[in-house]
Amino acid sequence: MPGWAHALDVRIDGIDGMDSDVADNIRHYLDGLDPEQLSRERVESETQRLAREAMRVYGYYGTDIQLRLDDQDPPRHIDLTIDPGPRVTIERLSFLLNGDARDDPPFQDAIDDFPLDVGDPLVHAPYDRLRARLANLALERGYFDWRFTDRRLEVRPFAESARLYLALDSGPRYRFGDVTLSGSHIEHQRLLNMLTFTPGEPYLSGELARYNQRLGQTGWFGSISVRPRLIEREPLFLDAVPAGDADGWWGELEAMSVQPDTPTLQMAAVEAAAAVVSRGLSEVPIDVALTPADRHQFEVGVGFATDVGPRLRFSWEQPWINRFGHSLDHDVYLSAPEQRFSGVYSLPLDDPLRDMYRFQYGLRHLDTQDTRSLEATLEGARRWEFENRWVQVLYVRSTLVDFTQAGESEKVLLLYPGIRWSRTRTRNPTFPNWGDRQRIAFEVSDGLWGSEADFLRMTGETQWIRMFGDDIRLVAGMGIGAMETDDFDKIPPSLRFFAGGDRSVRGYSYESLSPRNEEGKLTGGQQLFTASAELQRRVTGDWWGAAFIDTGDAFDAWGPDDLNTGAGLGVRWISPVGPIRFDIAHPFDDEDNAWRIHFAIGPEF
């Protein structure tokens, strides 16, 4: 802290039995005093004044302060001997609500939460917080004609009493009016379908924030501004800054992409709103100003993992290609064992974030362990997202695969429908302090519709992240898979089950766990089970230590004799590009390896 109180070594006597906040507040007030710029007499008088003000905040209005400065010039030491005197107590509380806010529960809740009562010692801060909270609620909930008709904190030191008065006249509550869109290259009706409110509903600034957020999630726009217009055909609000600077408190009331239930308003907005004249409007039109996002966006990613070694990713995204908001994404992924090219064409429906058709195509070459395959895929899918954030995808996939697995070669054409449900929830996506991911899918193939192999396949996955306090983090998960088929020889490697690696069972190499043939080559399994638990502990700052245990295998029949288990220790560094994970794992069921190193970049999910 830049103030002189640290160097001055302020010592305070006489208030030891009081709340330590009182002494801290005195030091805080004195922090702004610079003795090098003042005479000794001025230092003494300012110290007296500031210390008394700091005491009044806690209800001490009859304080006697004796101070002594050292003989240095400027002084470096000061002793304060304080006799706090009697403390003012609250004699009367009068908090009133008038206007429509009288029947609006959050306002009454704010008053009910006031922590002081008649007979309690006076503290100024709760009164100031209540006043600010009521003002913010008025703006957040559409009471743009609000004003305080009474705002008094009367202190009577001679009577050792205080009276607190606060009366809010909210006026009428405004309602959402018509929404005006400008600058959009996307059909307006498509954007109006995404509204989180209906014209005529009571105004709530959080709904503007949610609508802003939804527009941003489409990826269609480079900039988004969602603003209430209080006065038709005139400037929105009084300017709070000179021309040429920011947009005044217009910009502060503007609903940006914040947490939907906690819109933030600054004090300048609160003060300026009190001066706004509504001229009798009962509805607030909403202006939405948009600019298109870049039509072509490119991204290059470089990474490394012990499973696949160095890896390179190149993507070309077209977030919009027409006025309906259709998009096209291309992706190239290169690593030593795997190379793939894929593309997705998306056709959003009435609710673009929740409902869409997707058409996907891809080529994939894989050469790892005992697996070699070249695969071409086409897929058409219908996607729904529900209110509870579960996503349902119904799809039909066609796959042509030329592969060799464990020395056996096949070329097969598969046509199979499937359905998938998934949900991912996280807080702080870069390094989640809370989150979970669920996924379950079913697929079926049959010769009745021309597929060259019959199978029924199910996969499931669950993963959880939880924090205990600020320094302990638990990551746990489980995966299962099962397939029923009489044509296993025709099942391509991408549909068989393998375990082992950074994201499966650490201590074992990538996809090295599966049944083997008589020659010891991996064949892949018809069932899969994996489970993992990891406990992380913050060491210092962005550095964490980890201890983990993983177990699992791929097999041909349920109930394998022994699951393969690995355990170890690791280090996590939360870098600007995401967590970097370094693990040393011991495989308990691999006699050829005593330990294995795993290295990866990126969050768990």
Average pLDDT over residues 320-340: 95
What pLDDT score does 444 carry?
98
| Parallel, antiparallel or unpaired: strands 161-169 and 89-98 | parallel
Structural contact between residues 388 and 438, judged by C-beta atoms closer than 8 angstroms: no
Average pLDDT over residues 450-472: 96
Quickly count: other Cβ atoms within 10 Å of residue 103's Cβ: 10
Residue 83 has pLDDT above 70, yes or no: yes
Strands, E, within 541-577: which ranges?
543-555, 564-575
Instruction: Give per-residue pLDDT as tens, 342-357.
Output: 999 999 998 899 999 9
Residue 8 has pLDDT above 80, yes or no: no
Quickly count: other Cβ atoms within 10 Å of residue 280's Cβ: 7
Residue 272 has pLDDT above 80, yes or no: no
What pLDDT score does 280 carry?
53
Residue 260 has pLDDT above 70, yes or no: no
Strand order in the sheet with 175-182: 175-182, 283-292, 221-228
Among the listed residues 294, 297, 298, the one whose alpha carbon sits nearest the alpha carbon of residue 313: 298
Average pLDDT over residues 316-333: 96
Place of tokens 């375990």: 499
pLDDT band at 583 (very low <50, low <70, confident <90, very high): very high
Instruction: Give per-residue pLDDT as tens, 344-398.
Output: 999 999 889 999 999 999 999 999 889 999 999 999 999 999 989 999 999 999 9
What pLDDT score does 65 carry?
87
What pLDDT score does 559 carry?
65
Average pLDDT over residues 152-178: 93
Cβ-in-10-Å burial (0-12, 13-18, 19+) of 14 comes to middle
pLDDT band at 248 (very low <50, low <70, confident <90, very high): very low
One-letter amino acid for residue 302 of the chain: V
pLDDT band at 270 (very low <50, low <70, confident <90, very high): very low
What Cα–Cα distance (Å) separates residue 431 from each residue in 462, 463, 466, 467, 542? 18, 15, 11, 11, 10
Instruction: Give per-residue pLDDT as tens, 523-576.
Output: 999 999 999 999 999 999 999 999 999 999 999 887 666 789 999 999 999 988
Whole-number Å distance between alpha carbons of 547 and 567: 8
- DSSP letters, 163-212, are EEEEEEE--PPPEEEEEEEES-SS-HHHHHTT-SS-TTSBP-HHHHHHHH
Residue 231 has pLDDT above 70, yes or no: no
Residue 273 has pLDDT above 80, yes or no: no
Average pLDDT over residues 459-487: 95
Whole-number Å distance between alpha carbons of 436 and 362: 29
Least confident residue range of 6-20, 212-226, 400-414: 6-20
Of all residues in the chain, the percent with pLDDT exceeding 70 is 89
What pLDDT score does 156 carry?
92
Beta bridge partners, 346, equal 327, 358
Residue 232 has pLDDT above 60, yes or no: no
Structural contact between residues 306 and 333, judged by C-beta atoms closer than 8 angstroms: no
What pLDDT score does 235 carry?
38
Instruction: Give per-residue pLDDT as tens, 196-212.
Output: 999 999 999 999 999 99
Instruction: Give per-residue pLDDT as tens, 418-440.
Output: 999 999 999 887 889 999 999 99
pLDDT band at 252 (very low <50, low <70, confident <90, very high): very low
- CA quadruple 384, 385, 387, 390: dihedral positive or negative? positive
Average pLDDT over residues 332-337: 93
Among the listed residues 588, 533, 535, 585, the one whose alpha carbon sits nearest the alpha carbon of residue 565: 588
Instruction: Give the three-state DSSP class for 577.
Output: coil
Quickly count: other Cβ atoms within 10 Å of residue 300's Cβ: 9
What Cα–Cα distance (Å) separates residue 51 from each residue in 15, 20, 27, 70, 82? 13, 15, 8, 18, 9
Q: Which residue has the higher pLDDT, 80 or 393?
A: 393
One-letter amino acid for residue 333 of the chain: Y
pLDDT band at 17 (very low <50, low <70, confident <90, very high): low
Residue 251 has pLDDT above 50, yes or no: no
pTM of the model: 0.75
Q: Which residue has the higher pLDDT, 47 or 150?
A: 150
What pLDDT score does 16 carry?
62
- When the pLDDT of each residue in the chain is averaged and rounded to a whole number, the result is 87
Whole-number Å distance between alpha carbons of 360 and 327: 12
CA 34 to chain centre: 42
Residue 250 has pLDDT above 60, yes or no: no
Structural contact between residues 253 and 245, judged by C-beta atoms closer than 8 angstroms: no
pLDDT band at 19 (very low <50, low <70, confident <90, very high): low
Quickly count: other Cβ atoms within 10 Å of residue 95's Cβ: 19
Whole-number Å distance between alpha carbons of 595 and 558: 28
Tokens encoding 351: 């609710």
Instruction: Give per-residue pLDDT as tens, 518-536.
Output: 999 999 999 999 999 999 9
What pLDDT score does 372 carry?
95
Average pLDDT over residues 168-195: 94
pLDDT band at 281 (very low <50, low <70, confident <90, very high): low
Whole-number Å distance between alpha carbons of 31 and 599: 49
What pLDDT score does 234 carry?
43
Angle at Cα 549 formed by Cα 511 and Cα 572, nearest 5°? 90
Residue 241 has pLDDT above 60, yes or no: no
